[in-house]
Amino acid sequence: MDIVYIRELQIQTVIGIYDWEREIRQTVSLDLDMATDIRAAAASEDINKTLDYKAVSKRLISFIEESEFLLIETMAEKVAAIVLAEFPVPWLRLRVGKPGAVTGARDVGVIIERGLQPGQPTLQQS
């Protein structure tokens, strides 16, 4: 498994549960690790044979800027669902941070993993 990644993607959005947070835009920061196979792109140097991190970034910027969230957990789930549904990514790890949300902390947030890692057995329904 190869990883295409995006680090510290900064996006402005409405996020938070307090009334004052609902009236302003705050910065969220995303780190994204996306499973892919880069061999075909490396052999051909063809952007169409790889995961286009610019296209992923533009899609997420557009979605997050146009949305409002109460919880960072909700944002993380929706971002993961978009990436898995719209791009050739079988697995991802996503960190969503909300810098400055807690006094004394540089950043707080969540890290989630979604999808199926190569070699991981599928879940059996009983």
Of residues 49, 54, 78, 98, which has the active-site annotation? 98
Q: Left, alpha or beta for 47 (phi > 0: left; psi -120 to 50: alpha)?
A: alpha
Cβ partners under 8 Å of residue 29, min gap 6: 8, 9, 10, 11, 95, 96, 97, 98, 99, 107, 109
Q: Are the CB atoms for 94 and 30 separated by under 8 Å?
A: yes
Bridging pattern class, strands 109-115 and 91-97: antiparallel
Q: Is 98 among the residues known to form the active site?
A: yes
Distance CA 46, CA 52 (A): 11
Catalytic residue IDs: 98
